Homo-oligomer: A and B are copies of this chain.
């Protein structure tokens, strides 16, 4: 195949072409079964071209991760910080995150199914956006505690993890059932997180 005119697509665009293709292929096959060949073909480039834009397979993978987490985080911060009430902050966080995952199903698959793989784990959690994400969760929990929304005997890190775990669990289930919109799940999640499953006393 011959490289046709792509002058209108500058370097950044080509890079994001490949990232988009990678997102799709990684989501479909998983990290190990996804081949550079697959990704290149999906992006309509030759195999070698990928290596003009990314150092190696790992570099591509983690670039994808960091990119998306950075996007999600900045989006969340922007929307959530508009609110004052802690309870509403949590709800807005959920709404925006759900919306983001709905628009980025492929990434969500990668994030959930692969994001906790042994060798991946530390690199993701240890990356700058990964840490920032976790820090932000902790900050929200702390705020909730100060404003008397969240019990003050809870460890913020743990509580943040559980918040996100519930979010992930509900989204996974929803995707499995093939249900459409995630948007209206925020109250369900808040219910589990804030009120628990017990009956009111």
Contacts from A to B (Cβ < 8 Å) = 29-30, 32-33, 109, 112-114, 116-119, 121, 144, 148-151, 154, 157-159, 161-163, 165-166, 168-170, 172-173, 188, 192-201
Which interface residue of A112, A159, A188, A192 has the most chain B CB atoms within 10 A?
Answer: A192
Q: Which residues of the partner chain B approach A193 to less than 8 Å between Cβ atoms?
A: 196-197
Taking a contact as CB atoms under 8 Å apart, the answer to whether B112 and A116 are in contact is: yes
Are A119 and B196 also in contact (CB < 8 A) when A161-B169, A168-B165 are?
no
Provided the pairs A118-B29, A118-B109 are in contact, do residues A198 and B150 lie with their beta carbons within 8 angstroms? yes
Chain multiplicity (copies):
2
Contact assessment for B200 and A196 in the assembled complex, using a CB-CB cutoff below 8 Å: no
Complex Cα distance A116/B168, Å?
12
Shortest C-beta distance, A172 to chain B (Å), equals: 8
Would B194 and A173 count as touching, CB distance under 8 A?
A: no
With both chains docked as a complex, state the minimum distance between the C-beta of A121 and any C-beta of chain B, in angstroms: 7
Check if B199 sits within 8 Å of A149, measured CB to CB.
yes
Q: Which of B119, B161, B170, B173 is within 8 Å of A30, CB to CB?
A: B119
Interface centre among A32, A166, A196, by most B CB within 10 Å? A196
Interface contact B197-A154, CB-CB below 8 Å? yes
Contact status B151-A170, CB under 8 Å: no
A-B pairs, top 10 by smallest CB distance, nearest first, are A196-B196, A194-B198, A30-B118, A165-B169, A195-B196, A32-B32, A165-B165, A113-B118, A150-B197, A161-B169
Asked if B197 and A151 make an inter-chain contact with CB atoms under 8 angstroms apart, the answer reads yes
Q: Once the chains bind, are B118 and A151 in contact (CB under 8 Å)?
A: no
- Bound complex: CA of A149 vs CA of B200, how far in Å? 10
